[in-house]
Chain A
Amino acid sequence: MQINYARKEISCKVVFYGPGMSGKTTNLEVIHQKVPDENKGEMTSIATEGDRTLFFDFLPLDLGKVRGMTTKFQLYTVPGQIYYASTRKLVLQGADGVIFVADSNPSKVDENNESLKDLSDNLEEYGINIREIPLVIQWNKRDLPNALPVAELEAKVNTVGANTTEAVAATGEGVMATLKLCASLVLDRLNAKDGDPQASPVVKSGSKLGAAAAAPKEEEAAAAPKAEVYVAKVGADSISRTFFLQYCQMQYRLAAKEAEVEDFKKFSKDEYKKFLESLINYSLLLQDAKKRSVKPPMDKINAQIDAFKKKFGSPAELNEYLNRRKLSLDALKNEATKNEIINIMISEVLPDIKDRMKITEKEVSDFYNANKAKFNNKPFDDLKGDLVALIKGAKKRSALEEFYGKLRGQAEIKIFEDKL
């Protein structure tokens, strides 16, 4: 990105990435067609005779003056074929945002994954984590009769928790929405303070800290709006509606009794507000964790997941259980990650937490005496274990509230209630 005060110009670079023949150049051609003449420059292609991109396609867009700054987006595509690895890397240099055009054809899953890995590796060479750069995955060729369901693509390809859109680039459908989404993510970055390394585009599908994203259920994906709508802004992060809805369903499924789990639970506005509050807390927690360079103990988390798997006799039993609860291992992993981060962060922010969590005999007996009637006068010794757990829980909750209170005091939070 270049901010040029002398020319009063802001210029951003967006790169279309993806496997060969997935429709990157077609995307650019559609954009070239749809943008009014005064807002676009010439489209330049360095292509082979067979019309395959050799080096890159280039299309400059000029949005005109906004708040006194001429705003430009420069769109590039890379050649998709595997053997053009080095040119791809060159074009990627200095990209502010990436649109990954994925092929919905079932036979292209491996190619999609290979290309996504290639993108991740190339970004890494420029010192950029694929989860940190504004990235939109476009599920292209949705009109194929055998196109994989979006939920399946999400699970098989979108392992980086990116925002996604659907498109049929050949007819132009979804192309502008994809560009708009990526451009907004790039712009969100811009608002972060100059050079602020904490700036991150959005809270993505719960996967920011290493665990893979939970695949949304098909009906949720279908209900997801094409252009991203945000329900809240927490510091530099925006929480998208799609992600928020997924979060609500997951939290509900994690807590619900086995027999009661519904496919898609509807919530009242107040319930949504509660979920949003907890998600905001979690976002703040992640931001603070990042600031303190706290990383989730992945070894410990993986061990927890392994221990959980061992509870079941066979993988089939495990799957059956997960299906009944409509959960996935990724969702459990995300939750475990969250809990571990909370544990680490509490001791960072409230250093005296260990002392505060200590429980004296007297506290337990006082509690017992005060609530004796409620326990049907069961003897103290029978109840002691439960009582200790109860008091510990209450203490942890109040410590957490204090902790979130502290975080909230420092952050700027905006909630867009009408978007809930």
Chain B
Amino acid sequence: MKDNKLRQKRLVYYADDLQKIDKLMEEFLKLSNAKCIFLIDKEGHMISNRGLVQQINAETLSALVAGSFAATKEMARLLGESEFSVMFHQGSRDHIHIAIIGDRAISATIFDEKTTVGMINLYSKELSVKLEKIFDIAIRRVHQEQAVEADYSESVKDKLNDLFKE
């Protein structure tokens, strides 16, 4: 099964799937009245986001959400749980609600006093079920098109030479 694991390591998201995902996230924002939502994979790469995200450093947020989710999972393990599916951090103005979606993704919703954690929880559960279905289909799909242009790697290496100078 080792080969499968290696294969799973590469996460490919196609435009069609993401269009559907983005639409669902927009609906979620309307219903829940949250400020914005980030969809992040468990490895810490951001998949997509919707809402008022301009002020937020998406990359670092993604890495930290994935990290703290992973740490929470270890806490769960110590209690004999397989994982905690929801995390909530309360701030003075903004709050963040983190929920797992299926096997490999996490949603992070940022909201303020315009709504309540209960509302976010309710709609994020619905969202989670819908997104999970899309991921399920996407993962089982055999990737037929070539992942990237053939000379992509070589081009990046040239760029590395420019940027990563001693």
Contact = CB atoms under 8 A, between A and B. Distances in A.
Interface of A: 1-7, 10-11, 13, 31, 34-36, 39, 41-42, 44, 46, 55-56, 58, 60, 63-64, 66-69, 71-72, 74, 76, 86-87, 90-91, 93-94, 96, 126-129, 132, 172-177, 179-180, 183-184, 187-188, 190-191, 193-195, 197
26 contacts: A2-B45, A3-B13, A4-B47, A5-B12, A5-B14, A6-B13, A6-B48, A7-B13, A7-B18, A41-B57, A42-B60, A44-B60, A44-B63, A46-B67, A58-B64, A72-B59, A74-B59, A90-B70, A90-B71, A93-B42, A94-B9, A96-B9, A127-B1, A127-B5, A176-B164, A197-B2
A55 B71 contact: yes
Contacts of B63: 44, 58, 60, 74, 76
B26 interface: no
Contact of A180 (B3, B73, B164): B164
DSSP majority for the A interface? mixed
Interface stretch (B90-98, B109-117, B149-157): B149-157
- Max chain B C-beta neighbours (<10 A), residue from A36, A94, A179: A94
Contact of B153 (A127, A129, A179, A190): A190
B79 interface: no
Given A7-B48, A58-B64, A93-B70, A67 B149 contact: yes
Contacts of A6: 13-15, 17-19, 22, 48
Contacts, number: 173
B159 A64 contact: yes
Interface string B67-103: 1001101100000000000000000000000000000
A94 B148 contact: no
A174 B147 CA distance: 32
Given A34-B166, A74-B45, A184-B157, 20 more contacts: A4-B45, A5-B14, A6-B19, A6-B48, A11-B46, A13-B43, A60-B63, A63-B163, A66-B155, A87-B71, A90-B71, A90-B74, A94-B9, A128-B2, A183-B164, A191-B148, A191-B152, A193-B147, A195-B6, A197-B2
A187 B156 CA distance: 8
Contacts of B70: 90-91, 93
Given A35-B164, A187-B156, A194-B143, A3 B12 contact: yes
Interface of B: 1-3, 5-7, 9-15, 17-19, 22, 41-48, 57, 59-60, 63-64, 67, 70-71, 73-74, 143, 146-153, 155-157, 159-161, 163-166
A132 B6 CA distance: 10
Contact of B165 (A34, A56, A71, A193): A34
A13 B19 CA distance: 25
B153 A191 contact: yes
A194 B5 contact: no
A56 B67 contact: yes
B5 A128 contact: yes
Nearest to B161: A180
Contacts of A63: 156, 159-160, 163
A52 B163 CA distance: 29
Contacts of B1: 127
B67 to A, nearest CB: 6
B163 A39 contact: yes
A2 B7 contact: no
Contact of B60 (A39, A41, A72, A197): A41
A132 B153 CA distance: 19
A190 B59 contact: no
A232 B89 CA distance: 53
B18 A4 contact: yes
B163 A11 contact: no
A180 B160 contact: yes
Most buried by A among B5, B15, B166: B166
B166 A60 contact: no
Contacts of A187: 152-153, 156-157
B159 A4 contact: no
A127 B148 contact: no
B148 A67 contact: yes
Contact of A190 (B22, B41, B148): B148
A68 B148 CA distance: 10
Given A2-B13, A2-B45, A60 B59 contact: yes
A132 B57 CA distance: 33
A184 B17 CA distance: 30
A72 B6 CA distance: 20
B6 A197 contact: yes
A72 B58 CA distance: 13
A69 B152 contact: yes
A2 B41 contact: yes
Contact of B64 (A44, A87, A174, A193): A44
B166 A173 contact: yes
